[in-house]
Structure 1
Amino acid sequence: MLAILERIDPHSDRIDLLVELVDSLRPRRRQRARAIEAVRTLTQLLRGNPEQAWALRSYIVTMLEKRRHTSLYSDIGILSNDGFFTELKRRIAYRFLPPALDDLYLSDALDQVLYADDDYEWVRSVPDADWLALFDVVADAPPPLDAAPDRARLVTVLGMLDAIRTLSCRVCALGLEPRLVHSYSEIEDFDSPFLMQNIEVNRYLDEYGRFLEGGVERPDDARHLLVMLEQCEDVIAKIRRNSLSFGTSVALTYVLVAITQSIIRLRKLLFLVDLGDAAQEATHGSSAPLALPAPAAMPGARSHEPGALVAASHTPQPPRPFTARRAAAVELAQELVEAHNSKYRVRGLLHDNIDLLARNVTENASRTGEHYIAESRAQLRGMFKAAAGAGFIVGFMALFKILLGYLRMAPLVEAFLFSMNYSLGFMLVHVLRWTIATKQPAMTAQRIAAGLHSRDGRRIDFDSMAELVNKVFRTQIVAVLGNVAVAFPTAFLIALGWRQMTGQHLVTPDKAHHLLHDIDPFGSPALFYAAIAGVWLFVAGLISGYYDNKALYTRMGQRVRQLRWLGRLLGVERRARVSRYVEDNLGGLMGNFFFGILLGTTGTVGYLLGLPLDIRHVTFSTANFATALVSLDYQITWVEAANAALGVALIGAVNLLVSFNLALSVALRARKIQFTRSILLLRALGRRFLHAPIDFFIGPKDVDAKADSFGTDRTATRDAK
């Protein structure tokens, strides 16, 4: 360090020596503690060599004066106005080939000095007090007798003021975006706070400029401006709440995140430059790091003795106390370093923008999940009937899949035919209001997450949660039984009828043995393939929620009602019914369609890539078991039959568990709910089972019978962390 300090030219603006100096502070990986020691060593060296401290100060001031500051405060850590997908492409491209650096900008200088992606970690590991001690030694270094006064504080403050104006204009432009007005039309009924804050910022900065020129003794404080920013935040909060009912989009979410980031940065900059709080700190014997000594010290000041003020500012001072403003300055510096190191990371962009969209997707999926939860025995009977109807359809879908396999088409054509068989069949089940049991977990998991009685993400009413989980459990069991109980005899009768009509079995004995092998839980990768199907079930649930959200956000029903040709074709009343159906069922239809595509193409993709990829679905496995049984003329041992039955049961369990766990995990994360103490939920479920074991499996007799009547103290709400 000492060798580097001795080579510093106080009048140079070259950045290479500063890069070397920071390199001497940068610790090796996994040795963050050495950064603290290095910073303290540098502080002691400068404290013992005032001349070198002044040379370093002059060197840094020269670099600050030669570079533009605005982009550092207004761009780093804040999303651009380019939009989500443009920003995503830009970050991916810059990860491989970063943009050219320009010595004209201070932000590019930061890129040269703190070039390592993990620099922010060791910067944050150094205590704030150590950083402030180092800065104070440099700032208070005594100048030589012939030294000219520098403008370090003025340059920094002017850069922040320019950034405040830039950020305010950006907030104003984003706040008037049509997609924002579309989501909160009430903003057109009064003066937009996004526009008014820009007017107030310009007034505030003009007054501040007159203060710097010596025209006024002290500028007005920023209280009124902060009120306008609060109103902007209120509008953003209302739009976020409305999006849960009316949907959202990636573009809208991106705009909301960009505005929020800009407002937060505006507040931090205003806190650092505003002089209203500086007077309060001065009464406590402290000095703000960015507070200007007096307008007379600025260029163009009217005082006749500026030199006295400048000289006073370089007088050695005792250590300054750790004030809120000084802490805010260090915090902003650390934030800028971290944002700079992560500015090309895709994960951060996705994290900032996907949370709200995921919340809306899971919220819409949870509303769909309410239809998959039976409250009473009567509703369970209705669920069984709906599942039985779906099992009947699946029996014919299994037949069509076998027949399509006999065509021996090219792999991609075969995948397309299989996909259409699955997709159209599942969509028919949805149109007929029947139920595929395995489609339920992805929906009911969202409903469970939405039903958690947790406002802060920590306190959860486990008894209420156990009640809901119990309803989901018995509904799911009944739905699976309905699917399987009808799919098996349907496929069995189809195989018998095929033999009666054609004189041949639907499948050959070899094919029948292959079908039995496919559902063997121990002699084949059937359970692994069932897990893949469970993942696709989870993805289908997300797709359903996405399109439900899209139908709300884009007002799909109203758009369909505006189709004049559809009115001429169907009539006004039928068109209205079609529009309502599309708006209410677009998510379900698209989720079933894409679920069929995923099931139909997985095996072909695995074949083309040479990977062990395929799917196993409990209802189709049941139908294939029945087909194989008939084709072998029932000539199978009881061990083979039991193995096949066990395979069907385990495939169904894996389908349900994988899709449910994935959906519940995403739903909890989207709602920022921390849930790790599952033992408390299991205890609550155990109490319900012991109190009413029959009702636990088949539900209460009446819908009005409350499952919480078993005497558990519902006031005992526990922490789930």
Structure 2
Amino acid sequence: MTLEQALRSSLQAEVVPEMALAALIAAIRPASPTNHEELALRLQDLCWLLEERADYRQGLRQVLMSVLEHGRQISLYAESGILPNTGFFSELSRRISRFFLPDVIDRRYLKDMLSVVFARSDDFQWLESITLEQWQVLYAALSLPSLQVSAALGRTRYEMLEAVQVLSFRIASIGLDPELLRNEPSLEEFESPFLTQNGEIRNYLEDYKCWLLDSNYVPQDDKHIHVLLGQCRDALTKVRRIALQRGTSITLTYKLRRLEQNIARMESLIGVLSDWRAEEGASLFMRSVTLLCELVREENRKNNLRDHFRQTLDLLALRVTENASRTGEHYITETRSEYFSMLRSAIGGGLIIAFMAMLKLTLAKQHMAPLNEAIAFSLDYGIGFMLIHIFGFTVATKQPAMTAAAIAASIDESGGRARNLDNLVTLIARTVRSQIVATLGNVGMVVPMAMLIGAAFYWVAGEHFIPPEKADHLLESISPLGLNLFYAAIAGVCLFLAGQIAGYYDNLCVYNRIPERLKQLRWLSRLLGEERLGRMAAYVECNLGALAGNFYFGFLLGGMASIGVLFGLPFDVRHVTISGGYWGFSLVALDFAVEWQTVIVALVGVLMIGFVNLAVSFGFALTVALKARQVSVEQGGWHLLRKVLQRFWQSPREFLMPPRRD
């Protein structure tokens, strides 16, 4: 349908107003929402037709007024784009169900009419691309300044006032929620801006209605309302800042997001109402257009799952990566003493992993049922990694998920400034050499230790720890050929997930105040004594996340192969340090009678598995950390990469060994 046909349909007596508007929008809508030239031409044609034909102009205004007069509007202003009070998971369930089976359209409500008029999910994109000049030309073509105050506009104004009242009650209710008061008790101790704004809004609404009834009435301005809403925003920001220190939850994050949405919508509505009272036609039109674009966007995306996750989980993700960032700082060495301390720590980790590999091979000989075997492997890895942490040792592949968050924090703080980018390059150099020395420490210890265990077993038992056939299979499993590097990438994903789990449990520990609650257990106090209980609570506070991350990492590694068998998928894992242990066991089992090419290929495989482990886990962790901080990669971007390569070319030693004086 052409523009002229759509305008002509609005002149028919039996026309359904929202369908006439839907036809007009369909005629304006460009083939692609990013085709601004096509949109500009269609708007130009629309404005020309409205200027040339008074009947088209009158018909379009009649249709607009009819939609406003017959549609209930409060739900559009007070609900569209604002999260309901049902909670995160209830809203998630609603969006999933509506994605497959949309709601019934009820044309009594303006909210549903908007969905009919702007029926495509990308309509908001081209609508928001319309420039200020184009809106002004359309405003003039419609001759809106000459439009008499109709019953439809009067009804719209009253429904906006009612929507403001609804929003005010919601803001007051959420502002006194126990979740918020828990993080900011002063909201309860002193006069809360969330309650104060409610009283001021009631006065504003009464004042506005008096002005509507009596044109000679001198109304008050709305400056104090904006001050109070600003104080509400300040309180909201303070709660978020405290949540980064004391922990957060999905429930708290959801309520903070909902509170922010209600405040923003109230500010938009009060802006429209104030311009309406001041009879500022052009300003009122532009405010109304801005509100329309916002409402269309929210209606178009009301069932979007990605938006729901992104909007709600941002703060939680930031809290998780903040914990990982602080932990990651301990994995980055600056001085030579820290560098060699990291090496010693990694050697200790390699020592324990050699015994973990030995136990895993022993369990494999038992040929247990798949589920039992998966549980046994998982417990072997999980308990082993926890012991490494308890003894203060290091697993090299655990570092990237932590150090990536620290680097993301530095990118956020640098803001792209050259001097800070130089400092960031130095941090990356320190991170690289820390990763290298930790990997060398792990592998450099696990290989000879595995050989020693294999030789000791042969000396005691008179037979090799593993048969030659198993040794050949293990060497094949750590070569860089086949799917082994893909399996190493799966292990990298497991490492990334373990880092996120560690951050989550650190957040959980702080948010639920687990150390303080442990101290209140009387039976535990009698059993351990107050001093030991205090030390235990302090240890839990500092280490719960790391212990949980290590334990779950073990279960991810141990259970991945069984998941592959269960679903018939090529799933398995290759971990660099454990692969190094297999290499040592295999050489002893074959009495070192192995072709040198096979030895070299296996060694290259171990190194490549390590590289893939580190690269995949670091890449995922850095991406999540940047997104949580709402930092785009372009802020570091190619400029940062060039500076890193430049530094490596000028001083490659810095990426391998700390200078004598840092």
TM-score between the two structures when normalised by the length of structure 1: 0.86
Q: Does 1:560 align with 2:518?
A: yes
Closer/same/farther in 2, CA of residues 462 and 14 from structure 1, 3 Å limit: closer
Distance, in Å, in 1 between the alignment partners of 2:448 and 2:136 is: 79
Query: Is 1:506–2:468 an aligned residue pair?
Result: no
- Indicate conservation of the 8 Å contact 1:54/1:142, yes or no: no
Identity %: 41
**In structure 2, do the counterparts of structure 1 residues 219 and 429 end up closer, same or farther at CA, with 3 Å as the change threshold?**
same
Aligned match for 2:401, one of 429, 442, 454: 442
Residue correspondence of structure 1 range 53-132 to structure 2 within 5 A: 53-132=57-136
Deviations 1:549-592 (A, max 9, x none): 11111111111112222222222222211111111111101111
- CA drift of 1:514 comes to 0.5
Aligned mates of 1:161, 1:13 — CA distance in 2: 27
- 8 Å CA contact 1:9, 1:59 repeated in 2: no
Structure 2: 5+ residue stretches without partners? none
Match of 1:681 in 2: 643
Structure 1 residues 410 and 501: CA distance shift in structure 2, 3 A: same
Structure 2: distance between partners of 1:655 and 1:6: 65
Matched, 1:397 2:400: no
Q: How much has 1:342 moved relative to structure 2?
A: 0.7
After TM superposition, the structure 1 stretch with the greater mean CA deviation from structure 2, 38-47 or 527-536, is: 38-47
Deviations for 1:621-649, whole angstroms, at most 9, x for unmatched residues? 11101111111111101111111111111
Say if 1:356 and 1:9 are closer, same or farther in 2 by CA, change over 3 A.
same
Say yes or no: does 1:462 pair with 2:421: yes
Determine if contact 2:414/2:421 at 8 Å carries over to the other structure. Answer: no
| Structure 1 contact 418–600 (Cα < 8 Å) conserved | yes
Choose 1 or 2 for highest CA Rg. 1
Separation in structure 2 between the aligned mates of residue 330 and residue 481 of structure 1, nearest angstrom: 62
Match of 1:585 among 524, 532, 543: 543
CA contact (8 A) 1:462 1:684 kept: no
Query: Are 2:451 and 1:492 equivalent residues in the alignment?
Result: yes
1:458-516 CA-to-partner distances (Å, cap 9, x unmatched) read: 66612211222222222222211221122112211221222233322221111100000
Q: Which letter maps to 2:373?
A: E
| Equivalent in the alignment of 1:600 | 558
CA–CA distance in structure 2, aligned partners of residues 486 and 131 of structure 1: 71
* Contact 1:366 1:450 survives alignment (8 Å): yes
Deviations 1:113-166 (A, max 9, x none): 1111111223234334434444444454989xxxx9732332222222122111
Offset at residue 95 of structure 1 (A): 0.6
Among 618, 623, 626, the alignment partner of 2:581 is 623
Taking a change above 3 Å as real, the CA distance of residues 278 and 474 of structure 1, as seen in their structure-2 partners, is same
Report if the CA contact (8 A) 1:453-1:459 is conserved: no
Pick which of 661-670 and 22-31 moved more: 22-31
Over 3 Å counting, the alpha-carbon distance change for 1:36 and 1:208 in structure 2 is same
Partner of residue 300, structure 2: 341
Question: For residue 422 of structure 1, what is the aligned residue in structure 2?
Answer: 381
> How many residue pairs are counted as aligned between the two chains?
654
Offset at residue 3 of structure 1 (A): 4.1
| RMSD, aligned α-carbons | 2.4
Query: Matched residues in 2 for 1:432 and 1:415: separation?
Result: 26
8 Å contact from structure 2 (residues 6, 27) kept in 1: no
My pick for the range that moved more, 29-38 or 489-498, is 29-38
Q: 1:490 to 1:39 in 2, by over 3 A?
A: same
Is structure 2 residue 531 aligned with structure 1 residue 573?
yes
My pick for the range that moved more, 148-157 or 495-504, is 148-157
Q: Does 1:16 align with 2:19?
A: yes
Distance 1:660 1:142 in 2: 63
SS in 2 for 1:78: coil
Q: Is 1:672 aligned to 2:630, yes or no? A: yes
Supply the AA of the counterpart residue of 2:261.
Q
Cα distance change on mapping 1:495 and 1:227 into 2, 3 Å:
same
Partner of 1:653: 611
Q: Which residue of 2 aligns with 1:525?
A: 483
1:430–1:589 contact (8 Å) kept in structure 2: yes
SS of residue in 2 equivalent to 1:81: coil
- Structure 1 residues 130 and 622: alpha-carbon distance in aligned structure 2, compared to 1, 3 A threshold: same
User: Pairwise mapping of residues 132-143 of structure 1 onto structure 2 (< 5 A)?
Assistant: 132-138=136-142, 140=144
Pick the aligned partner of 1:413 from 366, 372, 375: 372
Change (3 A) 1:357 1:688: farther
| Bigger shift: residues 353-362 or 124-133 | 124-133
Q: Distance in 2 between matches of 1:130 and 1:463?
A: 45
Closer, same or farther in 2 for the Cα pair 1:10/1:562, shift >3 Å?
Answer: farther
For 1:468, the aligned partner's letter is: L
> 1:15 Cα shift?
3.1
Q: Match of 2:656, SS? A: helix
TM-score (norm 2): 0.93
Residue matched to 1:204: 204
Whole-angstrom distance in 2 between the partners of 1:326 and 1:435: 63
Alpha-carbon distance between aligned partners in 2 of 1:129 and 1:545, rounded to the nearest angstrom: 49
Structure 1 residue runs without a partner (length 5+): 280-286, 290-322, 708-721
Which residue does 2:251 correspond to in 1?
251
Q: Which residue is equivalent to 2:392?
A: 433
Query: Quick check: 2:432–2:655 contact (8 Å CA) kept in 1?
Result: no
Q: In 1, distance between residues paired with 2:519 and 2:138?
A: 68
Q: 1:166 to 1:637 in 2, by over 3 A?
A: same
For the Cα contact (< 8 Å) 1:463–1:684, is it kept in 2? Answer: no
Q: After the TM superposition, which of the residue ranges 652-661 and 618-627 deviates more from structure 2?
A: 652-661
Question: For 1:426-482, what per-residue CA distance to the aligned partner results, in whole angstroms no more than 9, with x for missing partners?
Answer: 111111111111111111121222234736466661221122222222222221122
C-alpha distance in 2, partners of 1:142/1:477? 75
Contact 1:491 1:624 in 2 (8 A): yes
After superposition, the Cα gap between the structure-2 partners of 1:594 and 1:219, relative to the gap in structure 1 and judged at 3 Å, is same
CA positional deviation for 1:324: 4.4
8 A contact 2:356–2:381 mirrored in 1 = yes
Q: Give the SS at the match of 2:651.
A: helix
> How far has the Cα of 1:74 moved from its partner?
1.5
Mapped contact 1:10–1:59 kept (Cα < 8 A): no
Contact 1:128 1:330 in 2 (8 A): no
Post-superposition shift, 1:231? 0.5
CA distance in 2, matches of 1:679, 1:661: 14
Q: Please, which moves more after superposition, 608-617 or 18-27?
A: 18-27
Q: Distance in 2 between matches of 1:253 and 1:422?
A: 34
Deviation sequence 1:364-418 (CA, Å, 0-9, x none):
1011112212232222222222211111111111111111112222222221211
- Contact 1:355 / 1:670 at 8 angstroms: preserved in 2? yes
For the 8 Å contact 1:390–1:483, the answer to whether it is kept is yes
Q: Is contact 1:74–1:167 with CA below 8 Å preserved after alignment?
A: yes
Is 1:466–1:684's contact at 8 Å kept on the other side of the alignment?
A: no
Q: Specify which structure has the higher proportion of helix.
A: 2
Shifted more, 344-353 versus 443-452: the winner is: 443-452
> Following the alignment from structure 1 to structure 2, what is the Cα–Cα distance between the partners of residues 456 and 229?
30
Match of 1:359 in 2: 318
2:95 aligned partner, one-letter code: R
Instruction: Measure the CA separation in 1 of the matches of 2:561 and 2:213.
Output: 75
The answer as to whether partners of 2:69 and 2:153 remain within 8 angstroms in 1 is no
